[in-house]
Structure 1
């Protein structure tokens, strides 16, 4: 677990109470990759698979966590909100929910942080995947707004 992971998990549990209820844990947290997990049992539906709303929540939170990691690394305290998103449910999830958000470069965040500094508001689009033993179960793209 990286140094950022305990801080991120504490922040999630204090600022977003739902994260405690669905059992969110921060598995990995850097400015390049955030991985969250949540157990199946509090997120199960009547088909004994992960509830779609829980999958959506974990995906949103993985992107939110990436924004948090980037802001933390830049020494910036700001508000993070999801503006809109697109989600594709590809496979049922019958195990621990594992969501991952990866960033392959700093350019989008650099531009976003410049806008935040100049206008008090920035925007970033982030991809998240929920991965199972069978493959990619969920593809998610979220647009996050950062404001002071």
Structure 2
């Protein structure tokens, strides 16, 4: 899927991504990088609202998992089961969220999914601002095979 196609998909199916003005920098089966400006995501302190930062990380982690499942032809419903967000420093401008799939975790996930038609995988997204990691999201996703 191209970055433009992923952006269109997110904006159509997850309208909050449009309100946040999320753009897709890169979209692949191993890594997704999203970006969001400060202005529509600003809080009372003039920095990025924590909920926006968490949503951007969640969108990146969900997207890389979704693209890999799609590339492997696996019809499924992908949902978030659990997240944990760590805020390391204020985000005072445009931020990028990068999420990668760990190949060893993916293989273990596929093994369980192929046997049980449902599996969980942990995916981490890092939010980068000013060349440093400003926040980190750890998400546990569940894919359920469509029958």
Where does the alignment leave 5 or more consecutive residues of structure 2 unmatched? none
Aligned to 1:97: 95
Compute the TM-score of the two structures, normalised by the length of structure 1: 0.91
Matched residue of 2:43: which SS? Answer: coil
Q: Are 1:4 and 1:69, in contact at CA under 8 Å, matched by a contact in 2?
A: no
Distance 2:97 2:131 in 1: 14
1:1-148 equivalences under 5 Å are 3-103=1-101, 105-133=102-130, 135-148=132-145
Shift of 1:32: 2.0
Shift of 1:113: 2.3
Distance 1:134 1:11 in 2: 28
Matched residue of 1:141: which SS? Answer: strand
Distance 1:78 1:146 in 2: 6
Distance 1:10 1:78 in 2: 20
| RMSD after superposition | 1.4
Counterparts in 2 of 1:116 and 1:53: CA distance versus 1, 3 Å: same
Compute the TM-score of the two structures, normalised by the length of structure 2: 0.91
Where does the alignment leave 5 or more consecutive residues of structure 1 unmatched? none
4+ residue runs of structure 1 moved beyond 3 angstroms?
A: none
Distance 1:16 1:142 in 2: 18
Count of aligned residue pairs for this structure pair: 145
